[in-house]
Amino acid sequence: MTLTIQLVGVFRSGRFNDAVREYPAATRVREVVDELGIPGPLLGIVLINGIHAGIEDILNDGDTLCLLPFIDGG
């Protein structure tokens, strides 16, 4: 299936800003995160098609997955 992956902030460094990529059907968010080598503690927000989602959510063909770092205030 085809996914649009958008990365925000520090996640772009050494990767990309956004990219259209192919994944097997029923891929979970976690598998994309692992594949991209994004460290778990840095991952703050997962958006699927602009809606907050979870790391174990299953992605569908045509989805846009946006991965954002954590924010801490201060």
Partner 1 sequence: MKYFSSDPAAEPASVLYSRCTVDLKNGEMRFEDVPCRNLEDVLGGFGRSFQILAERNISHAYCEENPLIVNTGLLTGSSAMTGMRTYFSGYSPIKASKKGLPAAMWSTGSGNFGAKFKWTGLDELIFEGRSPKPVYALIRESAEGPLVELKPADHLLGLTTHEKMMVLQKEYGSDAHFAAIGQAGEQWQNVYMGAVALSTDNQLKSGEDKMRFAGRGGMGSLMGYKNLLALVARSSDKLKPLTPEVRNVNINVVKGGGSTRLQPISRGGGGGTWAAYDVLQVFNAVPVNNFRPQGNDLPEKLFRERVEKQFDIKSQACFRCGITCHNNIHEKKEDGKSGRFLAKFDYEPLNLLGTNIGIHDAGQAARLIHLSDNYGMDSISLGVTISYLLSYNERHPDKPLLNGATFGDFEKIKELIDQTALGTLPEIGRGSKLLSESTGETSYAYHVKGLELPAYQPETNPGYAWAIAGGHMSMATYGLLTREGKSDMESWVRGITVDKLQIVGFDMIGLCKFFDITKGICTQMVVDCLKSEFNLDVTTEALAAAVRRAFLRGLALELRQGYQKDEYTLPAEVWERPNPNIKLPNITTPDFITELQKRVWEIFEPELEGLLPEA
1-40 residues in contact with partner 1 (CB under 8 A) are 8-10, 12-13, 39-40
What backbone torsions phi and psi does residue 21 show, to the nearest 5 degrees? -135, 155
Q: What is the spatial distance between Cα 21 and Cα 67, in angstroms, rounded to a whole number? A: 15
What are the two backbone dihedrals, phi and then psi, of residue 56, each rounded to the nearest 5 degrees?
Answer: -95, 0
The rounded distance, in Å, linking the Cα atoms of 24 and 13 is 25
Q: Draw the binding track, 34-63, toward partner 1 (x: CB under 8 A; -: no contact).
A: -----xxxx-xx-x--xxx-----------
Nearer to partner 1, 24 or 50 (CB): 50
Residues lying near partner 1 in the complex (CB under 8 A): 8-10, 12-13, 39-42, 44-45, 47, 50-52, 66, 68-74
